[in-house]
């Protein structure tokens, strides 16, 4: 049975169990709710890279940090279709489109994204978007176009969030998730470990996710990949043991959710990843780039699947394919919304320093 009343103390007690006990419990929960030999494979596509006005301390796409990534404008529908077909032929059942926006704005670009959703849905693939904050009407327009999932990560605990991002608040994240829930789109929400947070913060993030009712259908657990030029560039990488504990704990408190082993896999051995699958991870991102950070290539992943006897999960195994309504028949119209998402008053010193440092780069 799925519980929505987890406390931080309970989650910490699970996280800190002797490892063998933790893994055994997580693997047991996993087998009750999922086929342990199936792993969902998603391809993450950056449809608009860089130039983001936000100040997420881990992100090379924030305009203020001037990292070495090459930005690009919104991709065309035909470019996205070509990439989706490539992803499908290499075993992905889902395409997740990411745009480096603070929030969705009604207009031509959003109309193009809706067309991309329709196009990928017609390829019989699950479509996910991660576009920043959305209103209820925008979520419903995405649902109507055939969106399967919307990703909006909580990143960390509410307390630690303020140490990483100053340009929006935790409540904004929860509001967007709640707007997505008002449509038929499933929720994908998780976070990042290794940003300097405490174990209490990791547990706090899981409390925030596990007490959502319903819980997210998908939860990515990322290990920070420190990128030069960002405020978190000097952060120590986390060990496989921390990732393993986080995956196992997530599996236990969110039994039905697809737990995605996300950023940081390039630093993990096959043995380490196999342990994560045993502990309940049943989703990965495929492709040699995760937006802008490195990721194992598809051939290596498929070789690992063969070695471990894993099979890629087919599209729509967990939930039927959403119907896609054309732009002409759409019930929800462009409202020209310009919502005033909050702009919290606090600043984060290391984010300010990173911005200043980037200006002095030659």
Residues that bind ligand SF4 (CB under 6 A): 52, 54, 56, 59, 61-62, 100, 132
Catalytic status, residue 168: no
Q: Compare residues 193 and 244 and give the one whose CB is closer to ligand SF4.
A: 193
Q: Compare residues 62 and 225 and give the one whose CB is closer to ligand SF4.
A: 62
Q: Compare residues 331 and 340 and give the one whose CB is closer to ligand SF4.
A: 340
Catalytic status, residue 276: no
Q: Compare residues 102 and 318 and give the one whose CB is closer to ligand SF4.
A: 102
Tell me how far, at minimum, the Cβ of 52 lies from ligand SF4, in Å.
3
Per-residue tokens: 242: 């921390």
Tell me how far, at minimum, the Cβ of 50 lies from ligand SF4, in Å.
8
Tell me how far, at minimum, the Cβ of 358 lies from ligand SF4, in Å.
14
Residue from 94, 188, 251, 265 carrying the catalytic annotation: 188
Residue from 59, 64, 129, 202 carrying the catalytic annotation: 59
Between helix 8-15 and helix 240-253 the angle, nearest 10°, is 130
Tell me how far, at minimum, the Cβ of 209 lies from ligand SF4, in Å.
18
Catalytic status, residue 129: no
| 218-223 and 126-130 beta bridge pairing | unpaired
CA atoms within 13 A on the CB side of 152: 26
Say if residues 149 and 188 touch (Cβ distance below 8 Å): yes
Residue from 64, 94, 118, 128 carrying the catalytic annotation: 128
Residue from 56, 118, 245, 276 carrying the catalytic annotation: 56
Residue from 64, 96, 168, 173 carrying the catalytic annotation: 96
Tell me how far, at minimum, the Cβ of 135 lies from ligand SF4, in Å.
17
Active site residues: 52, 56, 59, 96, 128, 188, 260
């Amino acid at each position: 049975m799925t519980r929505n009343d987890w406390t931080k103390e309970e989650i910490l007690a699970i996280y800190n169990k002797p490892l063998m006990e933790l893994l055994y419990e997580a693997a047991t929960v996993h087998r009750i709710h999922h086929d342990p030999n199936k792993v969902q494979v998603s391809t993450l596509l950056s449809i608009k890279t860089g130039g983001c006005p936000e100040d997420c301390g881990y992100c090379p796409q924030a305009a203020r940090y001037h990292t070495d990534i090459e930005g690009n404008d919104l991709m065309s529908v035909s470019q996205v279709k070509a990439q989706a077909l490539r992803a499908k032929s290499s075993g992905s059942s889902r395409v997740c489109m990411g745009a480096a926006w603070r929030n969705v704005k009604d207009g031509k670009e959003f109309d193009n994204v809706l067309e991309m959703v329709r196009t990928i849905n017609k390829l019989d693939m699950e479509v996910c978007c991660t576009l920043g904050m959305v209103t209820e009407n925008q979520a419903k327009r995405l649902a109507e176009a055939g969106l399967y999932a919307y990703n909006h990560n909580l990143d960390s605990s509410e307390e630690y969030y303020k140490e990483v991002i100053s340009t929006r608040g935790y409540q904004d994240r929860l509001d967007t998730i709640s707007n997505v829930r008002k449509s038929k789109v499933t929720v994908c929400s998780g976070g990042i470990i290794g940003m300097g947070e405490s174990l209490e913060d990791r547990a706090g993030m899981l409390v925030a996710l596990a007490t959502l009712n319903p819980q997210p259908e998908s939860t990515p657990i990322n290990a920070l990949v420190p990128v030069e030029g960002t405020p978190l560039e000097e952060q120590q990488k986390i060990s496989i043991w921390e990732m393993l504990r986080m995956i196992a704990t997530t599996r236990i408190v969110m039994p039905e959710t697809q737990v995605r082993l996300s950023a940081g896999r390039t630093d993990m051995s096959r043995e380490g990843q196999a342990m994560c699958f045993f502990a309940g991870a049943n989703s990965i991102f495929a492709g040699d780039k995760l937006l802008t950070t490195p990721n194992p290539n598809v051939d290596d992943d498929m070789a690992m699947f063969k070695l471990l006897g894993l099979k890629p999960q087919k599209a729509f195994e967990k939930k039927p394919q959403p119907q896609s309504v054309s732009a002409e028949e759409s019930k929800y119209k462009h409202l020209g919304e310009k919502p005033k998402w909050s702009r919290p008053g606090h600043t984060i010193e290391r984010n300010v320093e990173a911005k200043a440092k980037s200006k002095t780069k030659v």
